[in-house]
Every structure is written in structure tokens, then in C-alpha cells.
Structure 1
Amino acid sequence: MSLSVTARAVHHPLKAPFRISRGVKTAAEVVVVEARAGGQVGRGESVPYGRYDETVAGVLAQLQPAMAMLERAGEGNIDHGAALALLPPGAARNALDCALWDLRARLTGVSVAEATGLPVPTSLVTAVTVSLDTPEAMAAAALAVAAAPLIKIKLGAEDPAARLRAVAAAAPDARLIVDPNEGWTFEILHGLRSLLADLPIALVEQPLPADADQALEGYDPPYMICADESVHVGGDLAALRGRYQAVNLKLDKTGGLSEAVRMLEQARGLGFQLMTGCMVASSLGIAPALHLAGSCQFADLDGPWWLAVDHPGGLRVEGGVITPPKPGFWGDGIEASGLWL
């Protein structure tokens, strides 16, 4: 059985600008890999991220040797470890790994849930994000999603206290994830200690730059600090003990579902709380992460909620709760006829 693999760039406009401490985006620029064999097509999506020196063009180029190796070898039993090993953890390997998982499910009829032992929850609370803006604009955005159980607040170094208070007042019943995206110093973090202790904080996510997080060693705040940019693969975990109490598993950092599944067990064994996170992506990029989410204490998978138009049959986010994609969308071994328009 022959195997062909293609990759292409896809542009998804957003319904509103998405701002974090590092900048603003108005579209999700993603890479989609499609692996074809036996009349079936497996799909995977990733988001090249400038923070890790990734670009869409660079990821497409990076994929070429691995795709060529797969096509030379043929479909076989879909043991593609050698091809994936050509790619470092990151967006390129994520898109290819997820496409191969989907293809394997479609060819064998064995779903990803069965293969991993990680079923997709029938419904799932996800953080919904209030992006960085003026305190007044952030309060208005929080008011619009105030019914959500969990809200993520994007913050920077400029007057984070005013923005925190504005969001908390607008959504008094929600728990909060505070995410400065490496934008704080230890002095800012410690200076907010009393305010954060008074708010319903679920997590403070990656407050310091990854190369400066040694300042967290031994720090004991009245809330959990979650590693994001400081953790990519399982080999990073041991060094984070004593600095973080939780870790964020993102497929675009781990390089796909395969490494993320291994990392899930490693992180639990080391006593970390777990969050499944995402970049701003379509339902195709989020569907594989839903398999992790049922085993995590927190989910931040609202990426498709930011798109002006998502895929037909994709997941839905309403009131801060995810409804999974329709059967056949990704990874369940069911023909996806009619979903890809």
C-alpha cells in the first residue's frame, strides 16, 4: 500500500484581535499535514510559533525530509518513528504525528482513544481567554463570558493589578488563570502576592521568562504556578520541581500526541498538576489534545473559539464548555465524509 504525505499553509482569520504580552495577532497561521493511504486521509495541524523561531515557511521546509522518508518506505504497519525522529519537538513534528495517528485510526478502525487509553470527555470545561487590552476593554470582554467557569487573563508588566481587578469584578463567579506569557519580573509577581491571594486564582502561568525562572526556586505562593514556555518534553520535567506546581502540555511544544502521552504519565509521577493548553488554532489542531484533557486538572483549549470560521463538524465552545467534534472528524477511525468542505 502506497503512502503519500502533503503539507500546506492555511490562514484562519480571527473574530477579534488576540493580544498577549509579546504582541497581537489577527489570524491563525497554521500548517496542515495530510497523509493518504488505502483510500483514507489522516490530518494534523500545528501552529508555527515565533517565540520558538518557527515560521510557516520554515515548518513546511522542515517537514520535507520526513515526508519523503515516509513515502519511500510506504504505508506498511504505520510505524513511523524513524521519520518523526528526523524532526525536533515543535510544530512540524506535531502536524505530522497527529496526521499519522488519524490515518492509523482510519485504516485500522482502532480509535486514538482505544490506542492510548485516553477517551475524549463528552463535555469539558475550558478556560476562555480575555486578551490583553485596557482594563475597561478587558472588563467588557470578561463580562461577555462571565458565565464561564474558568477565565484566562492575558497580562503584561503594565499595571497588571488594575486589569486583574477589572476582570475579577466583571466575572465574579469564575476562577482565573493569570498568564503574563513570560512578561513579569519576580518583583512584579511577588508584589501582586496579596491581590492574587484574595482572588479565585486557579493558576499563575509562566510569569517569568523561561531563562529566568530560577528565581521561583523555593518560592511558596498561595496559588499554583504553572510552567508553559519552560516545559516542552518529558526531559524538562525533573528540573522544574521546586519552581512550578503544574505544567502545561501543548502539542506544538511536545511535537505531537505521542510525546504528550508519555509526558502525561511522567508529569503525574513527579507530582505535578496538569493543564492541556493550545495555541490559537482550528478544531483540527485541538482535537488530538482533547485526549489529554480528560486526564488533566485544567484545560485551555479555546483556540477555535477565536476563529471567524472553524471547520464544519469541529468542536464547540459555549459558556466555557467544550462539546467534542462530530464523529469522523479526527482520530476515531470513522470516515469523515461531509466534514471537510
Structure 2
Amino acid sequence: MARTLRVLAETFPLLRPFRISRGVKTEAQVVTVVLEANGVIGRGECVPYPRYGESVESTRAAIEGLRGAVEAGATRADLLRLLPYGAARNALDCALWDLEMQQAGTGIGAALGLPAVLPPVATALTVGLDTPERMGAAARELARVPLIKVKVDRSDPAAQLRAVREMAPRPRLIVDPNESWTIDEVANLQGLMAQLRVDLLEQPLPAGEDGELAGFFSAIPIAADESVHVAEDLETLPDGYRVINIKLDKAGGLTAALELAEAARARGLTRMTGCMVCSSLSIAPALVIAADSAFVDLDGPVWLAQDRQGGVACESGMLLGPERGFWGGLEGAPQGTAG
């Protein structure tokens, strides 16, 4: 069946700056793929990430390089062979899932054994990196949500974490240094994190330099983010990691993310679902992985000044799926039912 491919670069301004240890973001730059076949349209979105050597331009070029194959009918299985993992493959893979589900007249939920209507799921809401005082003030606004993710660096993580916990004593906490700590800092902050009831420490050491976690037992479970992209990466993952953060942009699509989730499950690793700062078009397919994850961090659209119409909604830290017809036949509970 002949298809038509469109590749778009889109920009979504943020409500406020998003700060982490490696920089500040004021807009979300995404690449959107639109596939059309006999009047049926499938869409997918990706977020090129400079940390992995990606840009909007390189991602669009990678997708355009497969135009002939995709328009001639390349499958999701073909993509695993034709493109490396990463943002470009993610947008194409998710667009193919959407197209396939619409052509089949069913939803991805039925295809993968998910509920017909996705129940609300608790998502982390992020306190961005700032002064301890400002981070505390941001945490005060989130004091009643179920889960907070705290971005920290090496400047004074103890003060940053104390400020957040003082203003938000109830939520579960994920601490994310974004590869900025050393093994000594991981060890020295164990007592404080236990005292502050931190639930998860995400990728504290730089990927490629985290061999020091081999044999390291942490009182706080440690999640691998930048250190794990696809299932094959689990073969060399240090045993200090007990959780993996699955992101579709890293894995190169929902197809590879499902493979990674299954491989992690077989190894007894806890799953987390994460995202970049993005629109709901990136979040909808990630909800498939979130359905079987202990930690969910899908607040990307919350940072946008305006999201795509019909996308996900977030009510008091509970994420509701999109309107039916938005992507893949997924359907979330009506807004106002998160409580």
C-alpha cells in the first residue's frame, strides 16, 4: 500500500524555563512524522537530544533518507534494521503504530492487552534546578501531588533536597542529578536521602563512567537512564542499577521499548517510563510502557504553554490519557476523574 510521508519541525514554547544540570530549555523542539495511506493518517513525534548527538536537522535528514522505503511500505520490523535507535526511528515507529491501529479499526490497547479506557496514572512533576529557596517554593506548589522529581547538580544537592522535602513532606521523591555526581557523592548522600525518604536516584554518574556502581549497594534504588537505550544494553549494565528508565526517544520507538521492558522484566529489574520535554504526541505511546511501570515520569506536556489539542491532561499529579482518536486508538478517562 503506497504511503505519503511528511516530516515537520515544530516548536512549543514553555511556560517557564526548564533547568537541569546540563542546561536550560525555554522551548520544546520536536520532529513530527505524518504518514498517510488511502486517507488514513498516522502520526509520531520525537525530541532530538544534543546529549546523544542529535539535532532537528540531523533527525529530519535521517527520516528523509528513508522516504523511499517508508513510502514503499517499510514495516516497524524493517525500521529496526534500517535505522539505529534514537529520535528519528522513534517518530517513524510511532507513526506506523498509529497508522496500523487505524487501518485495523482497533486500538493499541486491544492489541497489547491494555484496558479499553486507560485509568489515570501518577506521574512525577518536576522541580527544576534552581537555588534551594526557589526549589522549595516550587515544591510548595506540588505539596499534594503523589510524586515529585527533583533536578539537582553538584553545587549543593543536600540543601536543594532539604528545601524540597521541607515544603513537600508527603510526595514520593525521585532525585535526578543528570549524570553530574561522583561515586563519592552517591555514597555520602545515602544517609540524607534515606532520611528524606527518597524513593529513587536516577542516573547519578555519567554513562560510560558508571562501572563504579558494580557491586555497590545503595539504600536508595538507582535507575539507569542515559546508560540504557535498548535491550542489548542490559548485558553490560552494572549491578548497582535496580531500575531502568525506558524512554521511546532513546529506544527508537515503542517497538524497541516493548522489547526493552520485557528484557528488563526477565532480569528482575524495575521499570520506569520517562520522557523529554515534549507534546502529548510523544506521551501517548509512552503510556503503553507506563501501564507496567513502577515509576512514571511523563510530565513533558505540563511544561508547554500550549499542547496539542486532544492530548493528555494532568490533574493534581494524575495523568489522564488522550481523547480517543488522538493516537493509536488510546483513550483516557474523562477529565475530572483523576481524584
- SS across alignment from 1:188: helix
User: What does residue 30 of structure 2 align with?
Assistant: 30
User: What does residue 220 of structure 2 align with?
Assistant: 223
Is contact 2:123-2:298 (8 Å) kept? Answer: yes
Alpha-carbon distance between aligned partners in 2 of 1:333 and 1:103, rounded to the nearest angstrom: 13
After superposition, the C-alpha distances for 1:91-128 in whole angstroms (9 at most, x for unaligned) are: 00000000000001111113112222344731000000
User: What does residue 127 of structure 2 align with?
Assistant: 130
Alpha-carbon distance between aligned partners in 1 of 2:114 and 2:259, rounded to the nearest angstrom: 12
- SS across alignment from 1:211: coil
User: What does residue 211 of structure 2 align with?
Assistant: 214
- Which of 80, 85, 95 is equivalent to 1:99? 95
User: What does residue 39 of structure 1 align with?
Assistant: 39
- Which of 60, 75, 81 is equivalent to 2:77? 81
Which ranges of 4 or more aligned residues in structure 1 deviate by more than 6 Å?
none
What are the residue-to-residue correspondences of 1:1-341 with 2, within 5 Å? Answer: 1-71=1-71, 73-74=72-73, 79-119=75-115, 121-332=118-329
After superposition, the C-alpha distances for 1:20-59 in whole angstroms (9 at most, x for unaligned) are: 0000000000000000002111000000000000000000
- SS across alignment from 1:42: strand
User: What does residue 336 of structure 2 align with?
Assistant: none
Alpha-carbon distance between aligned partners in 2 of 1:177 and 1:82, rounded to the nearest angstrom: 36
After superposition, the C-alpha distances for 1:257-290 in whole angstroms (9 at most, x for unaligned) are: 0001111111011010110000000000110000
What percent of counterpart residues are identical? 52
The two structures, once aligned, show a CA RMSD in angstroms of 1.4
Is contact 2:79-2:93 (8 Å) kept? Answer: no
- SS across alignment from 1:262: helix
TM-score w.r.t. the length of structure 2 is 0.95
Alpha-carbon distance between aligned partners in 2 of 1:84 and 1:10, rounded to the nearest angstrom: 25
Alpha-carbon distance between aligned partners in 2 of 1:279 and 1:35, rounded to the nearest angstrom: 23
Letter paired with 2:316: G
TM-score w.r.t. the length of structure 1 is 0.94
Structure 1: which 5+ runs fail to align? 335-341
Is contact 2:210-2:238 (8 Å) kept? Answer: no
Cα distance 1:83–1:242, how it changes in 2: closer, same or farther (>3 A)? closer
Is contact 1:155-1:180 (8 Å) kept? Answer: yes
Alpha-carbon distance between aligned partners in 1 of 2:49 and 2:120, rounded to the nearest angstrom: 29
- SS across alignment from 1:301: coil
Is contact 1:13-1:26 (8 Å) kept? Answer: yes
Alpha-carbon distance between aligned partners in 2 of 1:13 and 1:148, rounded to the nearest angstrom: 25
Structure 2: which 5+ runs fail to align? 332-339
Is contact 1:9-1:29 (8 Å) kept? Answer: yes
Is contact 2:9-2:56 (8 Å) kept? Answer: yes
